[in-house]
Chains A and B, each alone.
Chain A
Amino acid sequence: MEFFDKLKQRYRYSVILLRQLVITDFKIRYKSSVLGYVWTLLRPLALFLVLYVVFVKFLKVGASIPHYAVYLLLGVVFWNYFVEVTMNGVSAIVGKGDLLRKMAFPRYVVVVAGSFSALISLIINLFVFAVFMVINGVPFSLNILWLIPLILELFIFSLSVAFILSALFVRFRDINYIWEVVLQAGFYATPILYPIALVYNMSPIVAKIMMLNPVAQIIQDARHLVITPVAVNIGGIYGNSYARLIPITIVVVFVAVGVSYFRKKSPSFAEEI
């Protein structure tokens, strides 16, 4: 009990601040836009619609997979979360420069706040996803609970990347452009709009490498468990479900690198910005 009290005392300021920053961020995000919070839903839905029309209707991608629309939507929603957290992350520290120069607060709070705001959007989007599941006649099962550890993994991975990017951006101001390009390439290098099986049929090696990407592993696991077993996950690609440990190890490495790099750099943020 005493241990928890100490923990509470130590992180009291961070929690108070985090809460207010998330609330503030959510309040002003869509200020003076007509549709307001509807945009939280519209942005991924619009991307989904474009991809659906172009790739599914015209190019007939994914004809082999049942409920492909829902399958595509889940990928888009998860990817969208990763993009939002990391793009917010790039400017999180530099954007709060004024604050950093005048107050001493735990620097990581502003990065974490950005990822919580995105998490709220993700959860809202998952409700829309559930509606699509019903419309599409995808059967619900207890497997849907698997989304919780998968989202946790995605949360941790995105946050670690955001930590690294935010600290780098303080010194190197072209990180944002580089990261935009990386994300664009990443969108196609991750099996979001095409089935990974397609890649596997062409080149098993490439498919194996692609599945090491934690975001790819998370998306495919989620699809496999929630939508249809036809969606191949990393276990299916490697023929061994322990293969999942490789992307999870990558996540752990990112956490270690992200946290230690950020901790090392954060004391000098105020003077370097």
Chain B
Amino acid sequence: MTDEIAISVNSVSKNFKLPHERADSVKSLFINPFNKNRKKFESQHTLRNISFDIKKGEFFGIVGRNGSGKSTLLKIIAGIYQPNKGNVSINGRLVPFIELGVGFNPELTGRENVYLNGALLGFSEKEVDNKFSAIVEFAELERFMDQKLKNFSSGMQVRLAFSVATILAESDILLIDEVLAVGDADFQRKCFNYFRKLKKDKKTVIFVTHDMDAVREYCDRAAFIEDSKLVEISDPDSIAQRYTKLFMENTDKEVNLLSADEKRWGLGIIKTRAVKIELTDYTIKIKHTIKSTDYIDGFVAGIRIRSASGVGITGTNSKLERIKLGSISAENELNIEWSLPNVLADGRYYVDAAINGLDGVEVYDWWDEAASISIKKDRAVPYLIDPGFKVNIIKGD
């Protein structure tokens, strides 16, 4: 391994044994020591022959569907699981963030937990001492450090854990497993700032995620894992596209299921019959067909656009637009055309359609993901909105 390489994964394979009947108690060993069935187990392959190198200072993404084996790979790199074949060599000090606040004890105070968590990450009391005030300040928990952790709100606990992890763990190599999945918007912003800092400081980072926007923005390279195999290592853009495509194929197959699950609810007196999208380079038209089964004296209809990861981007309804949708008699149809400039960035989006009572409380028909939009633009930006920019260069004299 040269000095340039931070992590080298060499033909790693891992399978888990899933026993049919396990000798969990000594009794079964004694009663039937020669029972051959006892030894029977299924071998589940989670990783097959995976090899790659990560250079020093690289921000490396690992993406794949749930159950594809990416978390197992991360745990093998972290040394928590041992591979059945192959090996991983690491050049530098590695700190894993498989989960925030590992080992936090509710009976200890905030202060004591910082030292315990620090020790688990491999930092001595002296090292924690030096950074203690920075940790507390970053977590904004000055007044609470001598209270027991069980009296902290969950948000405060996450803040403390994140603060310990980020301030303390100034190591060369970091493993991050979807830390971003938790926390509110403010916390996520902090996470992203931290990522930017890691990138600026040229740390080696392995980042497992489902968030393709994050992959595009932060990663230098990314690996795509599918069915326990490493399918592709490439630039983040092509990996993100490949992942999104995979997701699209899936939703098309499952489209019939949608109507039966929790994505749709309401009283059903009046329903959304269809939501159709018409797309041009400049506008998005959402055609919303509504049909009533009974006479209704006024209602509110609306739509909302969300990103593939579920973040609300924009939306409106008839009330906001100051349009009165008057009475509608039974078995009548109504078409609403919502149109907006096509400012969405390249990627996939969902449209939710809703019909509510005039008071806004009664739900007649709420349909999450009633339709989807695939925006194709000639470039990909790591943001949700790509309205097109005009850039002027003004030269000095």
Contact = CB atoms under 8 A, between A and B. Distances in A.
Interface of A: 12-13, 16-17, 19-21, 24, 27-28, 31, 98-105, 171-175, 178, 267-268, 270-271
A102 B97 CA distance: 8
B105 interface: yes
B99 A24 contact: no
What 6 pairs across the A-B complex have the smallest Cβ distances? A104-B79, A20-B119, A267-B82, A28-B107, A102-B98, A102-B102
Nearest to A31: B107
A24 B105 contact: yes
Contacts of A173: 24-25
A76 B391 CA distance: 85
B23 A102 contact: no
A180 to B, nearest CB: 14
Nearest to B78: A104
A268 B82 contact: yes
A202 to B, nearest CB: 34
Majority secondary structure, A binding face:
helix
22 contacts: A12-B124, A17-B122, A19-B119, A19-B125, A20-B125, A21-B119, A28-B105, A28-B108, A99-B103, A102-B80, A102-B102, A103-B78, A103-B102, A103-B120, A105-B120, A171-B23, A172-B26, A172-B29, A174-B25, A174-B26, A175-B26, A270-B75
A31 B122 CA distance: 26
A61 to B, nearest CB: 36
B244 to A, nearest CB: 30
A27 B108 contact: yes
B96 interface: yes
Nearest to B97: A102
B107 A172 contact: no
Interface of B: 16, 23-27, 29, 75, 78-82, 96, 98-99, 102-103, 105, 107-108, 112, 115-116, 118-120, 122-125
Nearest to A14: B122
A270 B102 contact: no
A178 B82 contact: no
Contacts, number: 75
Contacts of B124: 12, 16
B23 A172 contact: yes
A105 B118 CA distance: 13
Contacts of A178: 26
Nearest to B98: A102
A24 B112 contact: yes
A219 B103 CA distance: 38
Most B-side CB within 10 Å, residue of A20, A21, A24, A100: A20
Contacts of B29: 172
Given A20-B115, A27-B108, A28-B107, A172 B25 contact: yes
Contacts of B78: 103-104
A99 B102 CA distance: 6
A92 to B, nearest CB: 14
A12 B119 CA distance: 10
Contacts of B23: 171-172
Given A28-B107, A172-B24, A175-B26, A17 B79 contact: no
A103 B26 contact: no
Given A28-B105, A28-B108, A104 B26 contact: no
Contacts of A20: 115-116, 118-120, 125
Given A102-B98, A103-B80, A270-B80, A17 B120 contact: yes
Contacts of B24: 171-173
Contact of B123 (A16, A100, A174): A16
A20 to B, nearest CB: 4
A17 B119 CA distance: 5
Contacts of B79: 104
Nearest to A100: B80
Contacts of A21: 119
Contacts of B82: 267-268
Contacts of B119: 16-17, 19-21
Contacts of A102: 80, 96, 98-99, 102
Contacts of A100: 80
B116 A101 contact: no
A68 B73 CA distance: 62
B77 to A, nearest CB: 10
A98 to B, nearest CB: 8
B128 to A, nearest CB: 10
Contacts of B75: 270
A159 to B, nearest CB: 21
Contacts of A271: 16, 81
B80 A101 contact: yes
Given A27-B108, A28-B105, A28-B108, A104 B116 contact: no
B216 to A, nearest CB: 28
